[in-house]
Amino acid sequence: MSFHFALVDDLISREEFDERVEKKIEEAGGLLDDHTAAMLVVQELGRSHVKVAQISKRASVCSFFGKVLGSEPPREFRRSDGTMGMVARLVLGDETGQIPGVLWDDRAIGAADIENGDVLEVIGKPARAGVNEVHILDLRPSTCVISCNLSPGTSTVQERVESLEALLISLDHPREFNRKDGRVDQVVEGLIGTGQGTFRLVCWVPELVTPLAPPCTVRISNARQKDGLRGREYHLDIQSGIRLHSGEFTVPCTPLSEVREEGIYSVTGVIISEDPPRGFLRDGDVSWFRALTLSDGIVSCRMVLWGEKALQPLISSDRVTAYHVRAKRGKGGDLELQSGRGSVLRVLPLPLEECMFEGTIVPGQAGACIDNGVERYLFEGEYTPAAHLWVEGVRQGRRLIPLRQKNTCPDRDGLLARLRTL
């Protein structure tokens, strides 16, 4: 009965609430269960369930029945005090409208068990003025029937896909979560690509993907196809399978000239300019962003990398493929690509060329470079900051991969001659 008492805890004590519920059951000759009796007490106190369209921002607490029309999976975030939290989102609706519901921490983790099409009884707190959402305080499954129209991208269909051939682009490290029954379990998230585009992969049985090393071609069987708030996803459970598949598989890329606002794309091109990573404070912690300019030989486009992706070693002349990036309008109004959580940026290999090079190591947030005052290469080996090295290795574009290296002393006369030209 705690679920219903939360609706009236500002009006009466828990003891009085329990007494009223018991009295209702006695008056009905024992024909009412605790749930129904508690609902009657709540109604008598003027806190009955409302329709979605009747949810008021002025209300401190509300209760309603809603069908799950879409969802965003739980994700971690860092609070201002440095502790980690979890948040998940649902879209709930009835015949009068729809409203986003936000779940925090343990309730967010439990949202992994909620399916599109489920009907829930919800107690929530309407968000502050200007934000149309409810912060969910408690919820539970309901047997009531709700009929409502679905908006685009929130389909309740979760059909099983018998067989799907795809490129497994990436896999994250396993992440722990707590199920409703208190069990600690793990989930692995990743990204796959098909001829139709790129899609999020969620594996609830981590051992299914443990033997796989992306990028590789796979055949997926009996996956649950789910259309969420951020597009289509494929979920693997104990009924699913995934295994290596022979042959190569290529995910089609969109020309930069065909990129449109709010779409999700895979693109390829050459980095023609890059800014250094820049730090900023987010919830009291330091995060990173970095701006690049990508060109496919016809059109160039700004691309912004967020978080750890901003620290990925990249340099002008690198040819890259960016998977699952979102197109948005930047502050200046121009279209730009955003590479954040869920996207993948891969550097494409270039021909190798043997070389010898001498220069000074210049460390940076996105990797160290070796510089001789005329040329600079991204250095992909062990180094000591500011060391002067002689290197024998291979050059790949503007990357230098050392095979042999040794510390040397800079040429004093050469340095002085270069200073005199400044």
In tens, the pLDDT along 190-218 reads 999 998 899 999 998 999 999 999 999 99
Please report the pLDDT score of residue 315 as a whole number: 85
Q: Which residue has the tokens 């990508």?
A: 294
- Domain coverage including residue 85: 2-141
Stronger pLDDT, 129 or 388, i.e. the higher one: 388
154 lies in a domain?
no
Dist. CA 125–CA 134, nearest whole Å:
5
Whether residues 175 and 301 share a domain: the answer is no
122 lies in a domain?
yes
Number of domains making up the chain: 4
pLDDT category at 169 given cuts 50, 70, 90 is very high
For residue 178, give both structure tokens. 């707590």
Whether residues 122 and 59 share a domain: the answer is yes
For residue 102, give both structure tokens. 């936000």
Longest dimension (CA), the chain: 104
Whether residues 9 and 135 share a domain: the answer is yes
Dist. CA 69–CA 148, nearest whole Å:
9
pLDDT category at 156 given cuts 50, 70, 90 is very low
Stronger pLDDT, 257 or 249, i.e. the higher one: 257
Whether residues 332 and 378 share a domain: the answer is no
173 lies in a domain?
yes
Where a domain ends, among 141, 176, 192? Answer: 141
146 lies in a domain?
no
Where a domain ends, among 244, 268, 301? Answer: 244
Whether residues 357 and 340 share a domain: the answer is no
Is-cis flag, bond preceding 141, omega within 30? no
Whether residues 107 and 33 share a domain: the answer is yes
Res 63 pLDDT > 90:
no
| pLDDT average, residue stretch 30-45 | 77
Contact 241, 209 (CB under 8 A): no
Read off the CATH number of the domain in which 366 is found: 2.40.50.140
229 lies in a domain?
yes
Where a domain ends, among 76, 110, 141? Answer: 141
Contact 249, 260 (CB under 8 A): no
Whether residues 342 and 357 share a domain: the answer is no
| pLDDT average, residue stretch 154-180 | 77
Whether residues 183 and 278 share a domain: the answer is no
Res 260 pLDDT > 80:
yes
Dist. CA 23–CA 32, nearest whole Å:
11
Res 157 pLDDT > 50:
no
| pLDDT average, residue stretch 13-27 | 86
| pLDDT average, residue stretch 312-339 | 88
Whether residues 341 and 233 share a domain: the answer is no
Whether residues 185 and 283 share a domain: the answer is no
- Report the 3 state secondary structure along 332-384: CCCEEEEECCCCEEEECCCCCEEEEEEEEEECCCCCCEEECCCCEEEECCCCC
For residue 80, give both structure tokens. 């201002």
Whether residues 9 and 136 share a domain: the answer is yes
176 lies in a domain?
yes
Whether residues 180 and 202 share a domain: the answer is yes
pLDDT in tens, 361-419: 998 877 889 998 888 899 988 888 888 999 999 998 888 999 999 998 877 776 677 67
